[in-house]
Amino acid sequence: MNEQIFQDKNLLEQLKRLTLERLKAMPENTELAIGSDSYSKSDLITHVTATDELGKEIMSIQLEFLQDLASGEIYKDENSYHTS
């Protein structure tokens, strides 16, 4: 987890807003498994809003995904992206 982002209040708020908007855009029946626990869309939103440890982990996952998307890293594995 990138602790520096969580220490900068401005960056934290921006990442929090971005993560919440991405979560709100998900279908209502979305569930995410983290470890051995499963969380509903509502649970995820609650944890991100509270900025608790799970909320920070969700924000870190979103940030890593967006960084990989922007850098093109996500497309390097030919099996991870299909155009058909």
State how far the Cα of 52 lies from the Cα of 49, in Å rounded to an integer.
8
Q: Is 82 part of a structural domain of the chain?
A: no
pLDDT tens string, the chain, 84 residues long: the values are 567 778 889 989 999 999 999 999 999 999 989 889 999 999 999 999 999 999 999 999 999 998 888 888 877 766 655 555
- Number of structural domains (the chain) is 1
Q: Is 81 part of a structural domain of the chain?
A: no
The boundaries of the domain holding residue 18 are 3-73
State how far the Cα of 58 lies from the Cα of 9, in Å rounded to an integer.
17
State how far the Cα of 84 lies from the Cα of 1, in Å rounded to an integer.
34
Q: Is 79 part of a structural domain of the chain?
A: no
Q: Is 8 part of a structural domain of the chain?
A: yes
9, 17 contact by CB (below 8 A): no
- Backbone phi, psi, residue 32, to 5°: -130, 130
Q: Is 42 part of a structural domain of the chain?
A: yes
Pull the structure tokens for residue 61: 């996952």
